[in-house]
């Protein structure tokens, strides 16, 4: 209706608010639905942070699905932006501290996800003596078998870093071929059978 409302609102959001604003006026503004004395960018950050917190508290982690929206906010894109700012030393210290206090927050989620998969496989190899696994193996809810398949696919495509390649190859029973992996599992089963039954395998036994 002809009012320069945007300028008027911004003038009331400046640091400390307008000098001519009375306490009554401040209270009346604060009572307006959706009002904030913070600049829009600050308010948007706070809303996104609150949405991230809500997700983390509900799910118990910060592994965000691609383009996930929480309360209408794309917190996946927002979280990636915060990590980019952090790694370029452009994220405010107080925001760094607040994000690090969120359940499951990580500045390098892809690296952490790889470590989680490797540790699960390494624990399995230590317990069984071999890193040979079925494709559908799941341990404590973690899809170890699928993770192994992903590493082999990345290796075939030449996208697996040398340090990760070396760590995998150091695991007992690790092989890059799914078929070789299957042979290793059957061989381990044969050894387990022989150890349990105390039998000798005679090579001249007729094949049924």
Question: What's the first-to-final CA gap in the chain, in angstroms?
Answer: 94
Distance of CA 2 to the CA centre of its chain: 49
**pLDDT band for position 146 (50/70/90)?**
very high
Q: Residues with Cβ < 8 Å from 105, sequence gap 6 or more?
A: 56, 62, 99
- pLDDT reported for residue 21: 76
H-helix or E-strand spanning residue 109: helix 109-128
**pLDDT surpasses 60 at 8:** yes
Q: Tens of pLDDT along 87-144?
A: 999 999 999 999 999 999 999 999 998 999 999 999 999 999 889 888 899 998 889 9
Q: Tens of pLDDT along 156-192?
A: 899 899 999 999 999 998 988 877 777 777 887 888 8
- pLDDT reported for residue 206: 57
**pLDDT band for position 199 (50/70/90)?**
low
Q: Residues with Cβ < 8 Å from 181, sequence gap 6 or more?
A: 132, 133, 148, 175
- pLDDT reported for residue 111: 93
CA-to-CA distance for 101 and 99, rounded, in angstroms?
5
Tell me the average pLDDT across 149-160.
Answer: 91
Q: Tens of pLDDT along 15-69?
A: 555 567 788 877 887 788 876 766 777 888 999 999 999 999 999 999 899 999 9
């Amino acid at each position: 209706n002809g009012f320069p409302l945007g300028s008027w609102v911004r003038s009331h959001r400046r640091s400390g608010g307008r000098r001519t604003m009375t306490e009554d006026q401040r209270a009346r503004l604060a009572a307006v639905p959706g009002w904030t004395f913070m600049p829009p960018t600050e308010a948007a950050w706070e809303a996104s942070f609150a949405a991230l917190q809500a997700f983390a508290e509900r799910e118990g982690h910060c592994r965000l699905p691609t383009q996930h929206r929480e309360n209408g906010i794309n917190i996946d894109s927002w979280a990636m932006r915060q990590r980019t700012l952090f790694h370029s030393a452009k994220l405010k210290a107080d925001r760094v501290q607040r994000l690090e206090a969120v359940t499951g927050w990580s500045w390098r989620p892809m690296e952490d996800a790889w470590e989680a998969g490797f540790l699960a496989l390494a624990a399995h190899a230590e317990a069984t003596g071999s890193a040979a696994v079925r494709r559908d193996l799941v341990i404590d809810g973690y899809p170890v078998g699928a993770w192994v398949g992903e590493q082999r696919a990345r290796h075939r495509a030449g996208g697996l870093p040398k340090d990760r390649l070396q760590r995998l190859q150091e695991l007992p029973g690790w092989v890059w071929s799914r078929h070789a992996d299957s042979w290793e599992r059957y061989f381990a089963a044969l050894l387990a059978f022989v150890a349990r039954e105390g039998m000798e395998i005679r090579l001249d036994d007729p094949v049924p």
